[in-house]
Structure 1
Amino acid sequence: MPWWRRNKAAASGQVIDQSGALVPVKSEQFDDLAELGRYVTEHGIRVVDPGVPLSNYAGTAAALNVWETQPSVRKVTDYIARALCTIPWQVYERVSDTDRRRVTDHPLARLLANPAPSVPPSRLWHSVILDWLIHDRWCVQVLPNADTSSGWELRRKPARRMHILADDDDQPAALYLISSRGPAQVVTLPAAYLFDHGYATVGADGTSPMETMQQILAEQAEAVQWRRSVWKNGARVPTVIERPADAPSWSASAKARFQAAFNAFIGRGSAAGGTPILEDGMTLKTVTAFNPQETQDIEGRKLTDAEVASSYHIPPELVGAREGTFSNVDAFRQMLYTHSIGPDITMLQDVLNTMLVPVLAPGSNLYIEANVEAKLRGSFTEQATLLQTAVGAPYMLRSEARAVQNLPKVDGTEELITPLNVVVGGLASPTDTAPPPSLPKGQGRPA
């Protein structure tokens, strides 16, 4: 029996409480690590352990298993991670209250553009964000590296190998990093690490959404298993075979021979799907006990997709869980980077500004901002119309327009042309061609 399933009481029937005194407890058994972890936390018992709640080890493995085996979870989390990891990070200098300057030549900007020498930026952030979505915590180490253009690199610490140790107020006090090459490392905070965690009822290790969704996911797993059993064991044709009541009794060998021959038509062999040959007097009768439509495979999967998407605050239409039109899907796409994952972008941005900027640019006015506008840009036609209306005149040179179409440069196309109706006519923009307002009756048109 594992040690964590043994009796709660030691041989003496006593444990040590928070004050260090021995207190008696009654003899019971733990069903799992989660129950043991809750008991230890509630009673303030000291355990010869790294300081990480024991249930976290079981929870980490369970979360990884859910992501690997549940298509709905992987679909939704990958959708969010792909949307977040492709947002560009930009560095700005706050010159004054009304002046900001884009910074591209600082080590901080170069590090964000190329955070790891052997991992593409989008792939690094994709893995980090998946750690966050699956385990509700993530960690990245900031390391000096003379071989990079910035002199630094970011190295992800997988969530399965890190835990956040908290003080009595559930505030992060240290990082517990598990290594496969030696003993675990405890890093006292603050340190050159970027990390974040969600809410937890005890400690600062976050709470995996997989624990919250476990009942829904378990129901989906049971439904999938039942549907597989139905399709595997149910009759391919909803019929039964009847023998006449006065038919001579079968011998054991004759019955086995007929069953073997009939099973060949419902198996996976060369005769599968064919028409079985019945013996004299036998008939096939249709029954309604099994109807393939009743499995509702597609409906069940869409329901689980919608539940998981709602748990991550994502419109189900974006992952195909519900039917959508072009207009509302486009509206949901706009909402994705504002209402849905906008708070996630802000939290990532806060971590970078509070933990990364002091390491690479201490005492400076630099700050990091996510270029969300790059993900919200419309089509070229929409952008051209909006910009032309906003500036009140054409905004591109003829040479620039030719370059967009991969046409050769022509002399004399380097000047910005402004139509006369904008300068003289008083229109807001070249696209403003609305007729003049109607005049009151009896008044003539202006000269």
Structure 2
Amino acid sequence: MPMMRRILSAIGLERRTWSNTGMNGWPELPGPSVVTPATAQGVSAVYACVQAVSETVASLPLVLHRRMDGDRERATDHPLYRVLHDQFNPELTALEGREYLMACVLLKGNGYARVVRGWDGQVRELHPIAPDTVQVRRTPAGLVYEYSDGTGTLQRLLAHEVLHLRHRLADDGIMGVSPITAARGVIELALSEQDHGRNTFNNGAKLLGILKFPGKLKPEQRVAIRDSWASQHAGSANAGRTAVLEEGVDYQAISMSLEDAQWIAARQFSVEEVCRLFRVPPTMVGDLRHGNYSNSVELARQFVTLSLRRHLVAIEQAIHKQLLTEAGRRTYFCEHVVEGILRGDSANRAAFYSSGITAGWMLPSEARKLENLPVIEGIDNQPRQDTATPAPLPYPSKEAAA
């Protein structure tokens, strides 16, 4: 056919290749995106959830305490206090190291750090290990961790030489399972929706139509026509160009927009799906459709109690089990300080402190300490008022406004 010869000669200047050719010469579309920790973070909701949890956990003060006859005090003289609170090792701060381990737990299910002890058996340094390089084996003597260092040498560590943080425990009783592994289909759907939007806009922000031919085409003719049409009309640079058709070819446009396909609504629902995986309120990752003044404080509290609490307790228990000696466990314990992110505004804090001081279970000096204010000598001996400051109403009533 003359038209086919002209098309074949025209595409000689530009031929686009496809990896696979399917039935009757039509190309096979790429399969579903492979979900890995790297590709999963390409979904903004996944990246935001991981950052919200890991950054918050790492920024919370992690304090080693010493038990003191029913009371406690900060064990600032213990070597582990500095490692957990200030500096992981000479190259990493405590925040950087803890943030990396928490991100590994969320994305890969496991976080590892090599433990360096001093002559007295106390922890002096923690060095994070990439989870992809670690193999955990169960032996009669206990767990053995094998990993490849930067030089390619295989290193073997015993259980007491590794800080191992897990997400939900797998069936083998050793490894943890990450949310993106347990719910891979959710991430695949989000990636597919993202690819659909990108490809749609790359192809001119509209769906193409159908080319109707009067006769049957050979497989090579179909490939040639497809490549020729794509080179002349696909892409945003070719948007709006007029197609010239010959030899009885008919073009039928498909009138289906992104709104018709509910693409935007599907993208918004994917954000909620991802947040559900990581147990993070959508408002914490920038989805403010359901956030307002009334529930923002409650959502922040739920973020600590429902999203972070499990991770905080898991870290504290892992440190108690793997970084303290047998004698140290009877004297020391570590705990995250979460009061800073649970506190409300200044009016609510003032009402809380006032009620505690009036009831007698808090001293004024303790309230000043919680507010990071300097010590005032003798403040606890000053006479106190008998009435507590009432908590402020969330909204002024109409009667008060009148």
Number of the residue aligned with 2:201 = 231
Q: 1:72 to 1:151 in 2, by over 3 A?
A: closer
Number of the residue aligned with 1:343 = 310
One of 131, 138, 162 as aligned partner of 2:111: 138
Distance in structure 1 (CA, Å) of the matches to 2:203 and 2:280: 37
**2:146–2:157 contact (8 Å) kept in structure 1:** yes
What is the Cα deviation at residue 277 of structure 1?
A: 12
Number of the residue aligned with 1:331 = 298
Instruction: Please identify the structure whose Cα radius of gyration is greater.
Output: 1
What is the Cα deviation at residue 72 of structure 1?
A: 2.6
Q: 1:275 to 1:225 in 2, by over 3 A?
A: closer
Q: Secondary structure at the match of 1:202?
A: coil
Residue 153, structure 1, aligned to residue 125, structure 2: yes
One of 85, 96, 116 as aligned partner of 2:58: 85
One of 57, 62, 84 as aligned partner of 1:112: 84
Residue 298, structure 1, aligned to residue 260, structure 2: no
Aligned-partner residue type, residue 89 of structure 2: A
Aligned-partner residue type, residue 146 of structure 2: Y
Distance in structure 2 (CA, Å) of the matches to 1:326 and 1:159: 41
Aligned-partner residue type, residue 112 of structure 2: C
Question: In the TM superposition, what whole-angstrom CA distance separates every residue of 1:90-136 from its partner, at most 9, and x where no partner exists?
Answer: 1222222x322232222222222222222121111110001111111
Distance in structure 2 (CA, Å) of the matches to 1:182 and 1:273: 51
Distance in structure 2 (CA, Å) of the matches to 1:220 and 1:229: 14
Once the two structures are overlaid, the 10-residue window that deviates more, 78-87 or 386-395, is 386-395
Distance in structure 2 (CA, Å) of the matches to 1:188 and 1:404: 46
What is the Cα deviation at residue 275 of structure 1?
A: 9.0
Aligned-partner residue type, residue 101 of structure 2: V
Number of the residue aligned with 2:146 = 176
Superposition pairs of residues 124-135 of structure 1, within 5 angstroms: 124-135=97-108
Question: In the TM superposition, what whole-angstrom CA distance separates every residue of 1:287-322 from its partner, at most 9, and x where no partner exists?
Answer: 771324235443222222211211122223332445
One of 152, 155, 163 as aligned partner of 1:194: 163
Q: 1:339 to 1:229 in 2, by over 3 A?
A: closer
Number of the residue aligned with 2:397 = none
Alignment gaps of 5+ in structure 1: 1-60, 241-258, 279-284, 406-412, 433-447
Distance in structure 2 (CA, Å) of the matches to 1:363 and 1:225: 51
Number of the residue aligned with 2:387 = 428
Residue 312, structure 1, aligned to residue 270, structure 2: no
Residue 76, structure 1, aligned to residue 46, structure 2: no
The number of aligned residues is 325
Aligned-partner residue type, residue 156 of structure 1: P
Superposition pairs of residues 245-256 of structure 1, within 5 angstroms: none
One of 183, 195, 206 as aligned partner of 1:213: 183
Distance in structure 2 (CA, Å) of the matches to 1:75 and 1:276: 43
Aligned Cα RMSD in Å? 4.3
Alignment gaps of 5+ in structure 2: 1-33, 211-227, 245-250, 392-402
Number of the residue aligned with 1:356 = 323
Distance in structure 2 (CA, Å) of the matches to 1:139 and 1:339: 24
Aligned-partner residue type, residue 301 of structure 1: R
Number of the residue aligned with 1:375 = 341
Q: What's the TM-score, normalizing by structure 1?
A: 0.61
**1:142–1:154 contact (8 Å) kept in structure 2:** yes
Q: 1:416 to 1:217 in 2, by over 3 A?
A: closer
Aligned-partner residue type, residue 162 of structure 2: Y
Q: 1:419 to 1:93 in 2, by over 3 A?
A: closer
Distance in structure 2 (CA, Å) of the matches to 1:365 and 1:164: 31
Q: What's the TM-score, normalizing by structure 2?
A: 0.67
Question: In the TM superposition, what whole-angstrom CA distance separates every residue of 1:193-221 from its partner, at most 9, and x where no partner exists?
Answer: 21133422336222333222222222222
**1:63–1:208 contact (8 Å) kept in structure 2:** no
**2:207–2:254 contact (8 Å) kept in structure 1:** no
Distance in structure 2 (CA, Å) of the matches to 1:156 and 1:366: 24
Aligned-partner residue type, residue 165 of structure 2: D
Q: Secondary structure at the match of 2:175?
A: coil
Distance in structure 2 (CA, Å) of the matches to 1:378 and 1:236: 48
Q: 1:107 to 1:186 in 2, by over 3 A?
A: closer
Residue 63, structure 1, aligned to residue 30, structure 2: no
Percent identical: 18
Q: Secondary structure at the match of 2:334?
A: strand
**2:54–2:102 contact (8 Å) kept in structure 1:** yes
Distance in structure 1 (CA, Å) of the matches to 2:68 and 2:329: 14
**1:115–1:121 contact (8 Å) kept in structure 2:** yes
What is the Cα deviation at residue 415 of structure 1?
A: 6.5
Question: In the TM superposition, what whole-angstrom CA distance separates every residue of 1:50-87 from its partner, at most 9, and x where no partner exists?
Answer: xxxxxxxxxxx953333343333222111111121111
**1:165–1:173 contact (8 Å) kept in structure 2:** yes
One of 150, 156, 174 as aligned partner of 1:204: 174
Once the two structures are overlaid, the 10-residue window that deviates more, 109-118 or 317-326, is 317-326
Which structure has more relative contact order (CA 8 Å, sep 6+)? It is 2
Distance in structure 1 (CA, Å) of the matches to 2:145 and 2:188: 32
Q: Secondary structure at the match of 1:195?
A: strand
Q: 1:205 to 1:83 in 2, by over 3 A?
A: same
